Amino acid sequence: MKIVEDVKEMQKLSKDLKRDKTIGFVPTMGFLHEGHLSLARKAKEQNDIVVMSVFVNPLQFAEGEDFDTYPRDRKRDEELAEKAGVDILFFPSEEDMYPEDFQTHVNVEKLTQVLEGASRPLFFKGVTTVVCKLFNIVKPDRAYFGRKDAQQLIVVKKMVEDLNMDVEIVPMPIVREQDGLATSSRNRYLNEEERKSAVCLYKALKKARQMVEKGTLDTKTIIQNMEKIISSYPFTRIDYISINRTDDLKPLKHIETGKTLISLAVFVGKTRLIDNIWM
Ligand code: PAF
């Protein structure tokens, strides 16, 4: 596995590789877990070369969020990426990505006003800006995004469509721990007791799925039942529970089968966790 730190070097390498090879790209902020590795393995299946980036993007963290404490472990990331079949691991520096006079941003306007965007107003502008830059550097044929960050996936797809970017976005299923908690680098912030409570997100989503399967389509009733489950676990505080259409993220009064995203963000202790199901 080759390690590249310099943006220009990565750009040149990709340009040369693209002459006769396809590139699959997995953008990450590092501290890799099974979710990231499943993306890398899929990229390996579908492309000649797999590039993974590790960059904790300051632009997508607001004041007071966890940019400084976000878990970082480069050596571990290198080992795990290599085992998952990554060919090139790209570790750009902050100075190289955002030089002093950096002043251009990419913003998907409407899809970013709700859900995560309502709670974290700067987040998506930071994500789309860095993903656009990474696409221009890595020049992937395909890029892999987990459904865990459902809105991120929807927003990135919209950016690619609106800006005619020549890359296929491949959505990948959520990877879960044994008890159902979605894998996330932020899970490591949870202490033992909080970790037990963190399963409430999955339990609430499971309840929602059961209700829909049994014929309850009224979203208000489903959300009330989800709230009840979350509130029965200690250390939890609901940020939002929402049921939206998957294409335009409009809130739904009734479940539309095949077009519905049920998503939630919950603080467990100080850690904010997100999860969702598509149905
Ligand atoms: O999902 C993430 O880890 C990040 O938002 C991404 C896509 C790597 C952009 O920084």
Residue where a domain terminates, one of 114, 148, 172: 172
Task: Indicate whether 178 belongs to any domain.
Answer: no
* The one catalytic residue among 33, 36, 105, 254: 36
Residue where a domain terminates, one of 143, 172, 201: 172
Q: Which of 54, 57, 172, 187 is the pocket-test mutation for ligand 1 (most atoms within 8 Å of CB)?
A: 57
* CA 36 / ligand 1 centre spacing (Å): 11
Residue 147 DSSP label? G
| One domain for residues 157 and 30 | yes
Q: Are strands 260-268 and 271-278 parallel, antiparallel or unpaired?
A: antiparallel
| One domain for residues 147 and 209 | no
Using CA positions, which residue lies closest to atom 5 of ligand 1?
Answer: 127
| One domain for residues 167 and 237 | no
Give the count of beta carbons closer than 10 Å to the beta carbon of residue 201.
28
Kindly report the pTM of this predicted structure: 0.97
* CA 19 / ligand 1 centre spacing (Å): 27
What per-residue string of b and e applies to 220-233 under the rule 16 or more CB within 10 Å gives b?
eebbebbeebbeeb
Tokens of 278: 């598509």
Whole-angstrom Cα distance, residue 235 to residue 190? 11
Task: Indicate whether 33 belongs to any domain.
Answer: yes
Secondary structure class of 129 (helix, strand, coil): helix
| One domain for residues 79 and 102 | yes
| One domain for residues 241 and 142 | no
Which atom belonging to ligand 1 lies closest to the Cα atom of 27? Answer: 8
Domain interval for residue 254? 185-278
pLDDT in tens, the chain (279 residues): 999 999 999 999 999 999 999 999 999 999 999 999 999 999 999 999 999 999 999 999 999 999 999 999 999 999 999 999 999 999 999 999 999 999 999 999 999 999 999 999 999 999 999 999 999 999 999 999 999 999 999 999 999 999 999 999 999 999 999 999 999 999 999 999 999 999 999 999 999 999 999 999 999 999 999 999 999 999 999 999 999 999 999 999 999 999 999 999 999 999 999 999 999
Q: Residue 24: give its domain's CATH number.
A: 3.40.50.620
| One domain for residues 103 and 193 | no
- The identity of residue 225, as a single letter, is N
- Residue that is written with structure tokens 């002043």 in the block: 103
What is the domain count for the chain? 2
Secondary structure class of 218 (helix, strand, coil): strand
| One domain for residues 166 and 223 | no
Q: Residue 196: give its domain's CATH number.
A: 3.30.1300.10
* CA 26 / ligand 1 centre spacing (Å): 9
